[in-house]
Structure 1
Amino acid sequence: MGRPAIPAEAFEHGDPRRYRRGCRCKQCTTGVTAEVRRGRYLRATGRGQTTTTERAARHVERLRAAGMPDREIMADAVISQHALYRIIRREGVIRRSTETRVLAVKPRDTDLPGSGTHIPGLGTTRRLRALAADGWTAAELGRRCGKHKQFIVYLQNQPNTLTVRRWVADYVARLYRELDGLKPEEHGVPAHIARRTRERAAAKGWMGTAWWDDDDFDDPDFKPATGRATSRRHDIAENANWIMRTSGLNKAATAARLGVDKSYLDHAFRDHPEYAIEVAA
């Protein structure tokens, strides 16, 4: 399946790219005519309409360093994901008009705290590894947070000393909270691919989300108790079952007694339905 094309409506009238996508209004016809004439002039004076990706790539690096997500760079420069990653990899040549649009992009203010600063990447790496251990592929994780799968693979396989931009850590933490406790097979990942992803993660010693609390990921001294016969989530479900049966407490009160969020208890019961119990409030 080919990459999706940018529709004509993404460009203003008078832009040659809108003409090439089917608009034949007077403004677009005039715009493409001017582009053709300019191309002739550039060729006549020993120049061309294409250039190397170097200047654009350096500018994209500066935008990323300032905390600007790739999807916003693509939107402001009106380029596809394919074009952006060709620029980043410095592959081939691009049109001078594309370079001009990329160079015109200015960093946006972002609502993510400290987006331009570096922070320890341990929690980011651990969260992505835990999701892989649950069966979430790098391609699916990348799609859900607007990144290429190779970027996810890069983060998963980095040493614990890696640092990441704050906005990267925030996106990954948000993604983890959305997927924690969900089964990939029920959310778009084919069962055989999810199984293969889990097997590869297990071979690397990565532990799934059931072995972690959210605060544990960023603690360099925390290590999942892999030698235990059961996961922490299993133990929470079992203990919660006993507390709710013997005391009559509801889920929220039981979760508070066990020192976990109610959502964590919900996930524990979902993973271990043999302990699931409902008590009237």
Structure 2
Amino acid sequence: MGRPAIPAEAFEHGDPRRYRRGCRCTTCKTGVTAAVRRQRYLRATGRGATVSPQRAARHIELLRNHGMSDKEIQAEAGVCQNVFYRIAMQRSEIHRASETRILAVRPRQIDEPRSGIHLPGRGTILRLRALAADGWSAAQLGEHCGKHKQFIVHLQNSDPDTTVVRRWVADYVTALSNQLAGQRPEDHGAAAHIAERIRKTAARKGWAGTAYWDPDDYDNPDFKPAISDNSVNVHQLGALRRAEITHLLSFNLSHVEIASRLGMNADYVRDIAREITTGVRRIRTTGQQAAHQTAA
């Protein structure tokens, strides 16, 4: 079964395509007469009614790179699907009027939200990693973004310095990160054992949770979280953990909630919290524990 024909009502009065679809009003008659005269003039001056599709095809590629879908381009240009793809694939010469309509479509601004242009993927990847460190599964994140979980996993394991993503993907992930930062997946229906498993997996990979990041740090190529550095020593890691616990304590979270969120032992969090509030640091050795006073 063939594709249904475009009705006359799809075109404005005066457009020759409306006349060819049966409209015989005065405006459409005038329009088709003018088109015929123009075609005769072009042929008489050696230019003809058809042109190479190269210029229109390059413009289509430009529009796509600025985030416009093929359907959006077709709608704005007023060309049918068959003509559009014949132009895009440069299969044959096209009507001069079709080229004019394609070239008349203005590209979107690069900074327009939800566009499909490519952007550096660093911020997107690190935000997804941070959410995983908080316990959010790829399936949950994919559901929020309208993508399959494997797409999320692929991004999380990509190189932040070389990967590029579509602008709309970056926008969705940024909004999702702002929405979920500091929240527990368990409070949104996630199974506690699954969230804990994801936290531990992220910790093994050196991914820092959302509590560690300021919003501007994700996209800053010069910012390197110490927890993701394989060369980090025990003292640096301990300082980072203390900073994370201190930050979460400011939100009046319990020791158990902080431990669950950071993937740590609750007793360890309780000891650190006591050190912060009392100024007494407990040093654990392989043989025994010793306590000494430190500056708060």
- TM-score w.r.t. the length of structure 1 is 0.46
